[in-house]
Structure 1
Amino acid sequence: MSGHDTMGSIATSFPELSGSQQHEASNSRPVGAPNLNIGPQPLFDTFEAFENSSASEYAADRPSIVDYIKLFEPTINAHQDYQYVRSFLTSYNGRETTFRSYRTQVERLLLWSWIKCGKSVTSLKRTDAEAFMQFCCQPDPDWIGDAVRQRFLLAEGVYSPNPQWRPFGSLSKKATRKVAAENMVELDTPQYAISAGSTRQVFAICSSFYKFLIEEEVPTGNPFKAIKQKSKWVSKESRKVTPKVLSRLQWDYVIETAELMANQDPKHERSLFILATLFAMYLRVSDIVGIADWKPTMGSFVKLKGTWWYEVTGKGNKEARVSVKDDYLNYLKRYRVSRNLTPLPSPGETTPLLVHLNGKAGLTDRHVRKIVQVIFDQALERMKSEGRDEDEYNELRSASLHWLRHTSATFDAPFREMKHLQADLRHENMSTTQDIYYEALDDERADSNRRLRIRD
């Protein structure tokens, strides 16, 4: 990310808070008194905003952040807390999805600490950490929104906080929202609920934040590490994992729909390529849009000893090589020809893998997700219009991009050795691959043996 924030750059980031205003003590309120008259507002914008601007540029574009911080008593040191969190987020500049997860949880902690406790995050104790975990399970109603909202709105060159944004969201299930939209029915906001996985994420990320502060020699402890009954928040789920997958009928409609869209409008050649690429190689979205230190190019496809591979830098900046299906090459050739390129990549080719329709490189993961969602929606409409039963297409209403990875691996598992599928999925442990994709095969194996006799 741009800016290379340091723990000591607070005056540069917030010149309005420099000098005596940063350090002036106030006796108007006792330390630790809640600020319940102040509502939560967003502090940290998108991954792109962090990546493309320095700390001072970011603050200048969003003067509301400075104004908001001034609302809190100087004894809280809100300005310093803000800089700590910004530095923490900047240290996680690898991928957009990781940034979003860390931003969400630590921003909630920051706002809760200032508003509910009237304290700096560096002053929180074990009991505060436990109270925050409980708050995340049952947040105040005015902290909960009914939709995912843009954090800041641009007007006249300045980014202002979106008044409809809330730190927490309570959304109906995707399929429920789609059915309501199809029938033009308004939905009531569902009761807020947090999953066990999300609870563990809150605990892990907040604990990681304090570990970062300690490593930066900030005088604080780790209140989350001090929690005694950790099992209440970080209990392990069952090993059994049920992946979300499309049926073969649904997948046939999805890929056929993408092909029809591409045949009808050349701009959808990219849509077809994205769909086929994610599916054919069990890829995550970051594998085709890239991360901070790696961007995929056509040169990411390499041919070694007559076999094509896709070279990717994935989770944890680990480099890997994924095998390429022969059948997939037809989609690669089609897309490249649509971009006036040779049918297959040349060694070391630097052409961006994905580009905007105007030819500019740099699609975001959100953009790619929207492209895939359009295909899912069109496939759903085709299934409905062709008279398919609702139970044949209902799950398609819930489908997301990540289902493609699970669907493809599920389809391929009966025909591939487990260790080969594990390698292409880039699972660290064989047990992960087995638990997710080979459990059904175990059932078939048991069934095939159950009725065999020991003697006639």
Structure 2
Amino acid sequence: MELIPRPCFGTLQEFAFLNPETLDGELPIVMDFLNRCPVGSLPIKSYILVKQFLARHAEPTRYANYRACVERLLLWSILEAKKPLTDLNEDDVQEFMGFCATPPDSWVANNSCRRFTPAKQRSAVRFNPNWCPFCFNKPAGNEERMAYIAGRSGLAMQMSVVASFFLELHCDDLVTINPAQRLHAAGFYAPNHAVHTGANIFNDEELAALMLTLRDMADEDIKHERTLLMIATVYYLRLQPSEIDSLGADLTISALGLTGDGTYDLVEDKFPGRWAWKIHPEFLTNYVNRYRERLGRQFIPSERDQTLLLGKIRGKGSICSGHARLTFRTVCKTVIERLTSSGCVVAPNSALRTASLLWLRETSLHHATRTMGMDEVIRLVRNSGAETAFQRYFAWRD
């Protein structure tokens, strides 16, 4: 009798109680399913590898997407390929991606639904018979059911997660060759059409003109050192306007801590998404240290410097997002005036004329995609789903 694909992982809250290294606390119904799978596919071993991968990505912004993608790979490997995950080669991965493009009807649900039936006792939990690894975005209703065909962005997301999974196996010396590396690098499953066109960001010349003008303003008048530090903070910390309001009072120089890879992070637990900031060291070198020197604070150890990164020019406390927006627009006007007076033509559609404060964050995130992998960038986005981040910052690129 052919086995029906069944869910292996619950919600993020339920997953948090599992031990990545052992089978303690597993749902009995899941263990029973895995024990009935082909023995040659080493289902338990493959399951543990997937669980360990998910444990490294057990965050609200990515868990559900990663779970869906890597669970499909697990089920396909043990039910269709009948091979352990560590035995899959490049041809297998390519076959799996073809399977994801047009899965059989038995793997596709009419709509999204619960994975398990709720029960007070874990031993009483059962599979929801309506669940499948794939599902249509909308209910089929009374209309004749159409064949499921995956979208390009969905396949690209699937490929990225699969590549990340095998990359981790390779880094842990569990596979000698990453079978997804060449396929992913070649962009075989990248979207044909741009999901995001790169709008609402500064180009390199505009950003350079903005920061150079700010430096000149600060050189001419020390009160603008605070403005320079504020703009640099929004850019390098990729702050949303709402985060200026909610975090500004706690964003001090002392909160910046050096990490093992040479970047900086906000080391206090009060900041959401610990290790999700990855601040480039040039922020400290070119802006924070400059401010400390100009204001005579370089003799205070930075870890004890309580100076606010978003502090007011006059008075105590941090600025609000409204004040930050007004300051930013004023600086942009000054940039345009200085460029015009020097003989440069600033186009009517230039970002310097139309940009909002949020453009600084968007520009910083797009710059991050030049040197960072998708996993790292998704961490930096914060408060956004993995697929949304992928489409916004990766899928549109050539």
User: Cα RMSD between the aligned structures?
Assistant: 4.2
Q: Tell me if structure 1 keeps the 8 A contact 2:241–2:358.
A: no
Q: Report the AA paired with residue 77 of structure 1.
A: L
What is the deviation of 1:230? 3.5
| 1:339-354 superposed matches below 5 A | none
What is the deviation of 1:53? 4.1
Output one character per residue of 1:322-347: Cα deviation in whole Å (capped at 9) or x when no partner: 974459xxxxxxxxxxxxxxxxxxxx
**Equivalence for 1:233:** 189
- Say whether 1:221 aligns with 2:177: yes
Q: Tell me if structure 2 keeps the 8 A contact 1:126–1:223.
A: yes
**Equivalence for 1:37:** 2
Q: Report the AA paired with residue 157 of structure 2.
A: Q
- Say whether 1:300 aligns with 2:247: yes
CA–CA distance in structure 1, aligned partners of residues 195 and 55 of structure 2: 33
Alpha-carbon spacing, 1:430–1:74, altered in 2? closer, same or farther (3 Å)? closer
Across the two proteins, how many residue pairs are aligned to each other?
250
- Between the two structures, name the one with larger relative contact order (CA 8 Å, sep ≥ 6): 2
| 1:147-166 superposed matches below 5 A | 147-158=111-122, 159-166=125-132
SS across alignment from 1:429: helix
Alpha-carbon spacing, 1:319–1:203, altered in 2? closer, same or farther (3 Å)? closer
Residue segments in structure 1 that go unaligned for 5+ positions in a row: 1-35, 244-279, 288-295, 306-310, 328-412, 437-456
Q: Tell me if structure 2 keeps the 8 A contact 1:281–1:324.
A: no
Q: Tell me if structure 2 keeps the 8 A contact 1:76–1:120.
A: yes
Of 196, 214, 236 in structure 1, the residue corresponding to residue 152 of structure 2 is 196
CA–CA distance in structure 2, aligned partners of residues 52 and 160 of structure 1: 18
Q: Tell me if structure 2 keeps the 8 A contact 1:422–1:430.
A: no
Q: Tell me if structure 1 keeps the 8 A contact 2:20–2:52.
A: no
- Say whether 1:207 aligns with 2:146: no
Output one character per residue of 1:264-287: Cα deviation in whole Å (capped at 9) or x when no partner: xxxxxxxxxxxxxxxx9566xxx8
Output one character per residue of 1:6-41: Cα deviation in whole Å (capped at 9) or x when no partner: xxxxxxxxxxxxxxxxxxxxxxxxxxxxxx701100
**Equivalence for 2:342:** none
| 1:98-109 superposed matches below 5 A | 98-109=62-73
**Equivalence for 1:385:** none
| 1:270-349 superposed matches below 5 A | 300=247, 302=249, 313=272, 317-318=276-277, 324-326=320-322
SS across alignment from 2:112: coil
Output one character per residue of 1:307-362: Cα deviation in whole Å (capped at 9) or x when no partner: xxxx96469701798974459xxxxxxxxxxxxxxxxxxxxxxxxxxxxxxxxxxx
Q: Identity of aligned pairs, percent?
A: 21
Alpha-carbon spacing, 1:324–1:138, altered in 2? closer, same or farther (3 Å)? farther
Output one character per residue of 1:402-438: Cα deviation in whole Å (capped at 9) or x when no partner: xxxxxxxxxxx99986373223557423799xxx9xx
- Say whether 1:111 aligns with 2:75: yes
- The TM-score normalised by the length of structure 2 is 0.52
CA–CA distance in structure 1, aligned partners of residues 150 and 5 of structure 2: 20
Alpha-carbon spacing, 1:186–1:213, altered in 2? closer, same or farther (3 Å)? same
Output one character per residue of 1:179-199: Cα deviation in whole Å (capped at 9) or x when no partner: x9xxxx856555423222211
What is the deviation of 1:100? 1.3
